Amino acid sequence: MAARVLHARGAASAGGLLRRAAPCSLQPALRSLTSSSNRRREDSWLKSLFVRKVDPRKDAHSNLLAKKETSSLYKLQFHNVKPECLEAYNKICQEVLPKIHEDKSYPCALVGTWNTWYGEQDQAVHLWRYEGGYPALTEVMNKLRENQEFVEFRKARNNMLLSRRNQLLLEFSFWNEPVPRSGPNIYELRSYQLRPGTMIEWGNYWARAIRFRQDGSEAVGGFFSQIGQLYMVHHLWAYKDLQSREDIRNAAWHKHGWEELVYYTVPLIQEMESRIMIPLKTSPLQ
């Protein structure tokens, strides 16, 4: 018992010596640690006030965000063409693709076909709509396998390509449905890779944001991916030229509320890309 008392007194004495020595050696570090800990607690408390609480969802994104009145599925194709083959590639596409578009036995429509002007060079972009969803897509693919002209077209086309990829998309319920338009126009495809889990938030914000961009007719269509690269969003815009694009985009910043929606949507984005595209002569979107 006496030994424990002496040990406790010794520890207390040592603690006193440390406290007396602290002014010249330890106290600044101790104050720094205490201050840092307090700041962390304060930051955590402040952040908890502003973090948006998202309710648990019991339905798929596609059911919450897509149009209910249609069952259209979209396919977006990116073809990277050998530079020396781009003219020949465009020629055979303009010969064959409109035939599929116009043939009523195929439940699909060519929405638009373009070459990238600014962005990834020597690239072709095609957007198809399948009226009836996945069954329509399957029907078209099966019929094209029996279409000898298309089989020959694919063989010739594939020899002209460096690479290709595609995505299956649904259209946002609050966007315009892309319909044929006269030209001449340039088109901008803005593609956003979102952080996983943020698609509902994006849809909620853009359901309000789109009204700031509908004074003219520049809004063509808005889509989100279902198969392929996931959590991808594509916005398609039409402009008379690059200067009108600049003027329209700048005008949005003078509308009350636009800057707030941009502020909240930017943190949802991991990566983004803009393509300026020129339609081919046979594209329904001119």
Residue 214: pLDDT band with limits 50, 70, 90 = confident
Please give the Cα distance from 14 to 23 (Å, whole number).
15
Could you read off the pLDDT of 31-61 as tens digits, one per residue? 444 444 444 444 444 443 343 444 445 556 6
Please give the Cα distance from 100 to 173 (Å, whole number).
27
pLDDT at 62: 64
Percentage with pLDDT > 90 across the chain: 67
- Classify the C-alpha dihedral 161-164-168-172 as positive or negative: negative
Give, in order, the Cα–Cα distances in Å from 127 to each of 68, 74, 78, 130, 182.
21, 7, 9, 10, 17
Residue in the structure block whose two tokens are 């803005």: 190
Q: What is the distance, to the nearest Å, from the Cα of residue 237 to the centroid of all Cα atoms in its chain?
A: 14
Give, in order, the Cα–Cα distances in Å from 100 to each of 86, 90, 110, 152, 224.
21, 16, 8, 14, 25
pLDDT at 172: 94
Q: For residue 178, say if its preceding peptide bond is cis, omega within 30 degrees of 0.
A: no
